[in-house]
DNA sequence: GATTATTAAATGGATCACCCATTCAATGGA
DNA sequence: TCCATTGAATGGGTGATCCATTTAATAATC
């Protein structure tokens, strides 16, 4: 009667809970440099008392930070909560969750991967160093070994590593992290496809050799073209025999810790 | 004596703990589609009994998943643990942690941002739709409003939104997520710089208008050039008067929930 | 004396039994 | 019809207690 509800959308208030406060305080210490990788937090019993909370609540916070890759909890005397080196694979977990929740689609992920890899190839051409070439070379040789011996599933793992090395060859860990994030799940699909159908990419070693040669010559146009073609071929392989794979099945395998 | 320690490096085994198992099981249900956004998990007391663990341990798992953006816990009768829509800002948190832990540097983040935005501009030129242009247009107008009224800090928030909209204009949520992740922290630095020194970008509205015009014409070369120049100018602004800003200060502000 | 077994303390892992605060539907009175 | 009250469901939080693992100190054995 006296006016309809206002059209503004109110976001629900998250009542501030103890464990959130604790997480933030610890992150704050990390940000200001008071805590660094390798450092140890006080024992749970002490820290709980310092913060004025129960041990249970403190543990909820520590667990959350452990899941976030910030802490590592270790038992025993001389154990404790240690600040970890940053775990770059946390971004993969986020990507996986987004996919599981339907926030992003496998199609969007694949498209993004193509674009990111195009960028990565250009950057790698510009920035790759001798050590990067050697690591990629060794990877290609392992790929060919697995091909010869018919160890196709191991070859898929090898392929994932190839893209990881390529990301690192850009000389920028942020780019490397993004590259791995958009690649990991894709390779899980490939793995599941190969495992279920037995089909796999033909002439993979040859393709890799050509690509690496272009990279070594810092021939951006050639390297980018080869990568584009390769990704297209892989996509075609994945899409043939439709219905043999489903998002649910592949994701379920991913989460059941296939690796 | 009888041989030095083997050169192989053993990674420490993470003894499988109950809360990890629980997290995995819930994520597995998400992956197989048995749980979808909006769904409610059983009450803590029930679920704990079903899983055969104590309520405290279950809560550690639920809290971790809440921190990961997968669940939302709500009090009261009719409350419970609800599966959330995917929270794309979780990637920002990962990026922040990596910076705090020193795994990535602010320099790497800035470089990655330049590269990612170059890609974004190209994609936005190709894929942006009328609604995207309109949202960007509205953003530019707000930018000009804030400029006229000297509300510089609000203008920075507006700028962050600009890049967010640009990411969305690519028509790919993965790209949009990445764009936001590499932009958020950068804008925090800009915010801190503006707040501390009062200096700010000159002719920002004009630059935005030019860029948006190029985007509307789908003129990739022009749009990319304008973006590149702009990012360079911003970088120069940030670097002048060195020492006025530090990573620690900016990160501390970020973590104390400036937003 | 060197090696090996034992012991004890520190610390995270987990459980149980409570109590509080919030939320919302049902109830009942004005 | 409307509003106040009440009570049950549910997450938020506490404290005490025990277990399992790890390490160092100690004792026993060769």
Query: What CA–CA distances, in Å, run from A112 to A135, A237, B24, B178?
Result: 25, 18, 27, 10
Query: What CA–CA distances, in Å, run from B129 to A113, A204, A248, B170, B178?
Result: 22, 38, 31, 9, 20
DSSP B40: B
Instruction: Give strand D nucleotides closer than 7 A to any protein Cβ.
Output: 7-17, 20-24
Query: What string of DSSP letters covers A123-136?
Result: HHHHH--HHHHHHH
In this structure, chain B runs to a length of 259
- Are residues B138 and B158 located together in one domain of the fold? yes
pLDDT given for residue B220 in this prediction: 97
pLDDT given for residue A2 in this prediction: 36
Residue A202 lies in a domain: yes
Residue B69 lies in a domain: yes
- pLDDT tens-digit profile of B97-135? 999 999 999 999 999 999 999 999 999 999 999 999 999
CATH number at residue A203: 1.20.120.530
Burial A9-19 (b: 16+ CB within 10 A, else e): eeeeeeeebeb
Domain boundary among B83, B103, B128: B83
Give me the residue label for tokens 């979808």. Answer: B36
Is residue A257's pLDDT more than 60? no
Domain boundary among A83, A104, A123: A83
Per the structure, the complete domain to which residue A240 belongs is given by: 90-255
- pLDDT tens-digit profile of B67-77? 999 999 999 99
Q: What are phi and psi of A198, to 5 degrees?
A: 80, -10
Minimum CA–CA partner of B111 in chain A: A172
Residue B6 lies in a domain: no
- Are residues B63 and B94 located together in one domain of the fold? no
- Are residues B71 and B182 located together in one domain of the fold? no
- Are residues A122 and A201 located together in one domain of the fold? yes
Residue A10 lies in a domain: no
CA dist., res. A109 & res. A181, Å (int): 10
CA dist., res. B240 & res. A76, Å (int): 50
Residue A7 lies in a domain: no
- Are residues B118 and B66 located together in one domain of the fold? no
Could you tell me the maximum CA-CA distance found in chain B, to the nearest angstrom?
79
Beta strand segments in chain A, E? 71-74, 80-83
pLDDT given for residue A141 in this prediction: 97
- Are residues A229 and A208 located together in one domain of the fold? yes
Strand partners, B74: B80
Strand partners, B83: B71
- Is-above-0.85 flag for pTM? yes
- pLDDT tens-digit profile of B9-24? 344 456 789 999 999 9
- Are residues A127 and A69 located together in one domain of the fold? no
- In this structure, are residues A47 and A39 in contact, taking their beta carbons and an 8 Å threshold? no
Interface of A with B in 8-37 (CB under 8 A): 15, 19, 23-24, 27-28, 30-33, 36-37
- Are residues A212 and A181 located together in one domain of the fold? yes
CATH number at residue B59: 1.10.10.10
Res. A102 pLDDT band, cuts 50 70 90: very high
Residue A60 lies in a domain: yes
- Residue A57's contacts (CB-CB under 8 Å, 6 or more residues apart) are A18, A19, A22, A48
pLDDT given for residue B242 in this prediction: 56
- Total number of domains constituting chain A: 2
Residue B11 lies in a domain: no
pLDDT given for residue A16 in this prediction: 84
Cβ contact A230 with chain C strand, < 7 A: no
* Residue A39 forms contact with B (CB below 8 Å): no
Token pair for B32: 């197989």
Enumerate the H helices of B198-245 as residue ranges.
204-216, 220-239
Interface of A with B in 117-176 (CB under 8 A): 118-119, 123, 172-175
- Residue A151's contacts (CB-CB under 8 Å, 6 or more residues apart) are none
Could you tell me the maximum CA-CA distance found in chain A, to the nearest angstrom?
79
- Are residues A96 and A181 located together in one domain of the fold? yes
From A28, A91, A172, residue closest to B94, measured CB to CB = A91
pLDDT given for residue B2 in this prediction: 35
Cβ contact B76 with chain D strand, < 7 A: yes
- Are residues A76 and A99 located together in one domain of the fold? no
CA dist., res. B166 & res. B139, Å (int): 11
Domain boundary among B56, B83, B110: B83
Residue A1 lies in a domain: no
- Are residues B160 and B183 located together in one domain of the fold? yes
Percent of chain B with pLDDT over 90: 78
Is residue B196's pLDDT more than 90? no
CA dist., res. B141 & res. B148, Å (int): 11
* Residue A108 forms contact with B (CB below 8 Å): yes
CA A49 to the chain's CA centroid: 37
- Are residues B53 and B132 located together in one domain of the fold? no
């Amino acid at each position: 009667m006296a006016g309809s509800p206002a059209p503004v959308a109110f976001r629900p208030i998250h009542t501030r809970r103890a464990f959130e406060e604790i997480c933030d305080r610890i992150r704050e210490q990390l940000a200001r440099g008071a805590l660094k990788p390798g450092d140890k937090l006080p024992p749970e019993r002490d820290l709980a008392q310092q913060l004025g909370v129960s041990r249970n609540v403190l543990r909820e916070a520590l667990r959350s930070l452990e899941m976030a890759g910030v802490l590592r909890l270790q038992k025993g005397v001389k154990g404790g909560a240690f600040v970890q080196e940053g775990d770059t694979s946390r971004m993969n977990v986020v990507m996986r969750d987004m996919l599981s929740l339907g926030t992003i689609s496998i199609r969007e992920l694949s498209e993004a991967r193509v674009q990111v890899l195009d960028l990565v190839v250009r950057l790698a051409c510009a920035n790759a160093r001798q050590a990067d070439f050697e690591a990629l070379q060794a990877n290609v040789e392992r790929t060919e070994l697995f091909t010869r011996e018919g160890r196709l599933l191991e070859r898929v793992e090898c392929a994932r590593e190839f893209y990881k090395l390529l990301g690192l060859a850009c000389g920028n860990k942020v780019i490397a992290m993004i590259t791995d994030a958009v690649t990991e799940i894709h390779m899980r699909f490939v793995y599941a496809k190969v495992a279920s159908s037995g089909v796999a990419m033909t002439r993979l070693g040859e393709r890799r050799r050509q690509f690496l040669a272009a990279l070594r010559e810092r021939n951006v146009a050639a390297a980018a073209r080869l990568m584009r073609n390769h990704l297209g071929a892989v996509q075609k392989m994945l899409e043939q025999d439709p219905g043999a794979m489903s998002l649910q099945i592949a994701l379920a395998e991913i989460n059941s810790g296939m690796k």
